[in-house]
A and B are shown apart, each in its own frame.
Chain A
Amino acid sequence: MDSLDEKERSWSQGRARAYAVLAVVGAVWMIGLVMDWYLRFAWFRWQQRLVFRPTSVRTMAQPPDLYVTNWLPERRGGDLTRLVGLQSFSERFEQVRPAGQQIVDGAGFRNLPAPPDLAHPIVVVGDSFMAAGEPMTNMFPLRLAELSGLPVYNRAMAGVGPFLSLVRFVDSDRFKNRRPRIMVWGFIEREAVRHGFSGMVYQLDIRDRGVKPAEQYELSATATRVVWPELAPQTLKQSLPDTSVLAQFSYRLWSRLRYALFGMITPDVYVSSGEVEGHRLLFLRRKMKVYAVDTQELNLADVTDAVRYTSEFLARRGVRLVVVLIPDKESVYRELMPAHEQQAPALPLSSLDDLETHIRAEGVPVVNLLPTFRERAKRGELLYWADDTHWNERGIQLAAEETWKVVADLLHENEGKLPP
């Protein structure tokens, strides 16, 4: 401790420079601190998650039949090139999305204008695979509508996963007043993990037991309050990439440095070893990690139970559930993975075939897209965007055709049995 005394004494001498470290490091720290927190609130609107205001809760009343048309300009690049974040690298993979119009209905879903009292016999729920398309004409629900000649309502929600979309629809007035005959529910392979399904069953079970969902959601929602869990370490950490300028800046800087110095991109993305229709594909490694490390996550029995429960829940309300199993790009083009990715030990080709068998055994209609997609892929067809995790126009068309085969049979066999 004498040593500290000595250091302190020597630092107290030389008046002019005594504050140097404090001044400079302190200033840097303060600037970073103030700027990051200011932008977190002013720009990223983090306060909307941190502070709960009852008025900000969306009411579940019937939305006005109001359609908004947005014109989207031509765009390049997909979620994978954005994840890489390097212009010079991404250029080689980027594909062009043509300009087009995007119509959103009053409830925020992408649907074409229709009379307010039109009944849709088919409703599509799910995630961005089902909800979105580039441009709007390349959307799964629209393709299904073309094939079937029936109005198809798009209730899928991009960005929140496939479970919330289904639960929210069950809560909606549309479900109560204009109940569909068929509900097409699609989810991607990497989402077929146990916890998401269990959460959904819990939510449906509450409704089955007659507890009003609104009360569940808003039990303590009568006053403005701080949502303290948003400050919990894990949540705060997860929010950083979306709400911190410093985090975003650091990530981009490191991406550039890594590429400039070592010629490497983020380990979350890798490049296919071959080409499809003249394109090299980008793959997402996250999926591989999930399967290789955590096979427990994918508990087929639990997932199947949840699907059966959901199907029964809907059947009691006169709705037939059709499950669409969407394969990951990595499963479809497995042969194009680099050798060390392919040899990952004990990795099943895909879980979808097993899942299909299980779900079929429960008597739930299911569309497994994997075999068709694999077959087309082997013929050299590109079914996904090269620069994105999502499927392209041809993938959507193929999925709609396969789905329609199953849905057509159901409509035919249930003719007259279900309410119109």
Chain B
Amino acid sequence: MLFNSYEFLFLFLPLVLLGYYGLLLQKRLRLPFLTVASYLFYGWWDYRFCSLMLISTLIDYVAGKRIGASGDKRIRRRWLTLSIVSNLSLLGFFKYFDLAARTLNHAFSFFGAAEPFIPLLHIVLPVGISFYTFQSMSYSLDIYLGAAKPARSFTDFACYVALYPQLIAGPIVRYRDLAAQLVERTHTLAKFSLGITFFVLGLAKKVILADGVAPLVAPAFEQAAPGVFTAWTGLLAYAMQIYFDFSGYSDMAIGLGLMLGFRMPQNFNSPYKAVSITDFWRRWHISLSSWLRDYLYIPLGGSRLGPGRTYVNLFLTMLLGGLWHGANWTFVLWGGYHGVLLALERASGKRGLMPRAPLAMRRAATFLLVLFGWVLFRAGSLAQVAAMFRGLFGLNGPGGLIRAQIDATPLPYLLLLVTLAMAFAARNTWEIKWKNSWGLALFLAGLFIVCVATILVNTSSPFLYFQF
């Protein structure tokens, strides 16, 4: 279930908190309880997905234990390989099989094959599989690298993998960051209050801002020839939607973690204020970029093997990072685009591409580059990418309105202005230095009411059929 749903806010969360704090005064029951609750949370989509997560968990638990217990480098390596191969196979099969099959069929038909060579399986992508396989893999990697010790028990580890706050959309908490907290963590009212604050602010980012500007996005990306106004509002709206959606979800996860006593790492740090693409990747989805840095870029050699190899490593890391986002070549293109930009910045030295330009201009230029990247990210096909760029550069003319725009209130446009102001001028959730006070409490309560009302309005368009 999603955090911004009735069943989570009004069924799952209260029951879990009640169980966690009320019924389970026996502290050693808390992790098993959380594990079961997290599997329920996950199984809500489709109970069959739970077995996948369990398999991934089991393999990594055993591999981690063996790696930790053995002093023999070869054995350690063998178990690490098993862990990585099995996780990547799970991910590869469920996420990328159809893409690979389609691509190969396409290639074979190019060489004259009449029939599709590999049948498409139309696999339903298990929610969050990209997140939990990476998280689960980080366990065996951390033990192999000596950054963590094997988990105390299977329950501890299963709880770490399945922990519902970060299960489906991150942050990708590495095992080394959570290991100590699984054994010992504190539960204080201050922590719980802070958790509520993060959760409500994250909920508002997602429900009011991200969902609020969303109606502007589809008309731009789904038209064959979007006009210049539609294309730019659509693209800006998408940039705001993806940021507030994703960072809102991360804030909610951090808030929910705090309510259970866990501290999770920051995932977004005002990415649109970045002054270069390198800076952008230090601020955007930090848990993923640091995961890729530690477990992919550095093992590939990082920047230790000379400049040429560094550029290749950067490019490869971003290419794979792009592919991680989804099974479509547009994501690979997006990753490659960022890889090239990163390599270019690296080549131009530490001071970046425009060292003498004023800060505002560097920010604007970076944002523009990021925006062009989002076109690749959001478009479903290369044809759509082309249509969108034509629209952005005014080659489609001013363009007309479509039904979705006629029906829409002016609210999304107002919200777009609000989100732009917030992304560029306001402090982010982590920078705000609010004190716990009655004023803040009333503000959050009001925000929470607006969010719940918005969720209910969006999910409950009246069902007219009952009258027929």
Contacts and interface: CB of A to CB of B under 8 A. Distances in A.
A17 B439 CA distance: 10
A25 B403 contact: no
B456 A11 contact: no
Interface in A1-57: 1, 3-5, 7-12, 14, 17-29, 32-33, 36-37
A128 B449 contact: no
A186 B396 CA distance: 48
Given A21-B196, A188-B468, A254 B457 contact: yes
Interface in B403-429: 403, 406-407, 409-411
B457 A250 contact: yes
B466 interface: yes
B457 A18 contact: no
B193 interface: yes
Interface residues of B, number: 59
A18 B409 CA distance: 41
A87 to B, nearest CB: 17
B460 A237 contact: yes
Nearest to B430: A3
B26 interface: no
Interface stretch (A262-270, A273-281, A407-415): A262-270
Nearest to B411: A262
A295 interface: no
A79 B466 CA distance: 11
Nearest to A264: B409
B468 A159 contact: yes
A161 interface: yes
Contacts of B254: 4
Given A3-B266, A254-B453, A21 B441 contact: yes
B190 A18 contact: yes
B110 to A, nearest CB: 31
B16 to A, nearest CB: 13
B67 to A, nearest CB: 26
B445 A28 contact: yes
Task: Say which size band chain A's interface belongs to.
Answer: 35 or more
Interface stretch (A97-105, A241-249, A352-360, A374-382): A241-249
Contacts of A24: 438, 441-442, 444-445
Given A12-B188, A161-B465, A268-B461, A25 B406 contact: no
A240 B460 contact: yes
Contacts of B435: 10-11, 14, 17
Contact of A21 (B411, B436, B468): B436
A18 B462 contact: no
Given A1-B177, A1-B265, A250-B457, A25 B436 contact: no
B464 interface: yes
A251 interface: yes
Interface string A192-214: 00000000000000000000000
Nearest to A37: B10
A92 interface: no
B445 A20 contact: no
Contact of A241 (B194, B449, B463): B463
A25 B448 contact: yes
Contacts of B44: 233
A86 interface: no
B189 A19 contact: yes
Contacts of A191: 468
Interface stretch (B1-9, B49-57, B152-160): B1-9
Of A37, A241, A249, A254, most B-chain CB atoms within 10 Å: A241
B135 interface: no
A17 B200 CA distance: 19
A22 B464 contact: no
Interface string A309-331: 00000000000000000000000
B30 interface: no
Given A17-B436, A264-B409, A242 B466 contact: yes
Interface SS, A side? helix
Which of B10, B403, B441, B468: most chain A CB closer than 10 A?
A: B468
B273 interface: no
Contact of B460 (A3, A244, A268, A284): A244
Nearest to A5: B263
Nearest to B408: A267
A159 B466 contact: yes
A8 B191 contact: yes
Interface string B378-396: 0000000000000000000
Contacts of B258: 4
Given A32-B452, A237-B459, A14 B445 contact: no
A258 interface: yes
A12 B190 contact: yes
Interface string A368-397: 000000000000000000000100000000
Contacts of B407: 267
A417 interface: no
A284 B465 CA distance: 12
A23 B441 contact: yes
B196 A25 contact: yes
B388 to A, nearest CB: 21
B436 A236 contact: no
Nearest to B465: A161
Contact of A28 (B190, B448, B462): B448
A20 B453 CA distance: 23
A246 B452 contact: yes
Contacts of B467: 79, 128, 158-159, 389
B197 interface: yes
Contacts of B196: 21-22, 25-26
Contacts of A5: 263
Interface string B162-201: 0000000000000001000000000011111110110010
A75 interface: no
A22 B263 contact: no
21 contacts: A1-B263, A1-B265, A8-B190, A8-B191, A8-B194, A9-B190, A11-B435, A17-B436, A20-B193, A21-B444, A25-B448, A29-B9, A158-B467, A159-B468, A236-B7, A247-B456, A247-B460, A250-B457, A251-B460, A262-B411, A268-B464
Interface of B: 1, 5-7, 9-11, 14, 44-45, 177, 188-194, 196-197, 200, 254, 258, 263, 265-266, 403, 406-407, 409-411, 430, 435-438, 440-442, 444-445, 448-449, 452-454, 456-457, 459-468
Given A17-B435, A83-B462, 11 more contacts: A3-B430, A11-B435, A17-B437, A19-B193, A21-B440, A21-B444, A24-B442, A28-B445, A83-B464, A246-B453, A262-B409
The 4 A-B pairs with the shortest beta carbon distances in the complex, nearest first, are A24-B441, A250-B453, A11-B190, A20-B441
Interface of A: 1, 3-5, 7-12, 14, 17-29, 32-33, 36-37, 79, 83, 127-129, 158-159, 161, 188, 191, 231, 233, 236-238, 240-242, 244, 246-247, 249-251, 253-254, 258, 261-262, 264, 267-268, 284, 286, 340, 344, 389
